[in-house]
Amino acid sequence: MPDRLTSALEGYLAYLSVERGLATHTLSAYRRDLTRYVAHLHALGRDDPSQITERDVEDYLLVLRTGSDGRAVLSASSSARSVVAVRGWHRFLALDGLAPTDAAADVRPPAQPRRLPKAISVEDVGRLIDAAGLGDGPVPLRDRALLELVYSTGARISEAVGVDVDDLDLTAGRSAVRLLGKGRKERVVPVGSFAAEAVEAYLVRGRPALAASGRGNAAVFLNTRGARLSRQSAWAVLRTAAERAGLDTAHVSPHTLRHSFATHLLAGGADVRVVQELLGHASVTTTQIYTMVTPDTLREVYAASHPRAR
């Protein structure tokens, strides 16, 4: 029989799934982080949530930084994610009456350096999308439409592959797509003309051929078996296009087009709160990282503006 700690963990994960509607991959990350934490507590002789102290939580931060439990040493960002999971669980335990206090209430995740998201230039975005559409048949049409839609809307890869045909409105002049974001929050985002044309071309000339291999699927983006395209396959599309376009694949990630979308909008004069809504960020603070000035931008502005810069 599972001990009380393990039972309490399963209860929390069920709450995150049912009540909070967290995505499957997010739940997997929580399970991984908290399973390691429970193993740490077991090693300390704890078998009930009511026995956990603030010192136990602080000791776990040291474990994450040193790998003294025999597992991997985590980076600052991964440690912070793990601490967020631990804090959420302890808050749940206290609110649910499984622990007398919130043992993690005063424990803070390690500070992380503020890093600019990696974006690519408008020209490189064009090369990337063109490279995705090289070739004949339904797959190049799909790949181009996928990357056009992601860049046009700032969608996460998981949101893009989650789009169903009924989520699209490609009416000229008011094209839009309904995206399902984190916490199953919906938002409707405009779709630009380039993306609308690419998606329509795929729906007319590419998707029917892919759908013929399956048993009927509402997804917009299908694989060669007629099933919904997976996140991993969509990431492979992006990586292959980057290689074809001659881009540095070390600087291309599943979020590259999303980051570029936000960076290019702000550079074009968009209000940060509008970009927040388009990205589906819960807080404008998350979006504001895109407003950080890079050293290159500082040099360009200085050279162009200072009377004795040249």
pLDDT of residue 116: 63
pLDDT in tens, 11-45: 999 999 998 888 888 899 999 999 999 999 999 99
Q: What is the mean pLDDT of the chain?
A: 89
290 by DSSP, 3-state: which? helix
Provide DSSP, 248-289: -GGG--TTHHHHHHHHHHHHTT--HHHHHHHHT-SSHHHHGG
Q: What is the mean pLDDT of residues 69-85?
A: 85
Please indicate, yes or no, if residue 111 is contained in any of the structural domains.
no
Q: What is the CA angle 45-48-51, rounded to 5? A: 70
As for how many domains the chain has, the answer is 2
Active site residues: 156, 182, 255, 258, 281, 290
How many residues make up the chain in this entry?
310
Cα–Cα distance between 5 and 113 in angstroms, integer?
A: 34
Cα–Cα distance between 222 and 262 in angstroms, integer?
A: 27
Please indicate, yes or no, if residue 222 is contained in any of the structural domains.
yes
pLDDT of residue 114: 61
Model confidence, pTM: 0.65
Residues 51 and 158 in one domain: no
Compute the CA torsion angle 25, 233, 165, 134 (nearest 10 deg): 150
Residues 85 and 132 in one domain: no
Q: Which domain holds residue 32?
A: 4-95
CATH number at residue 127: 1.10.443.10
User: Whose structure tokens read 């002789």?
Assistant: 45
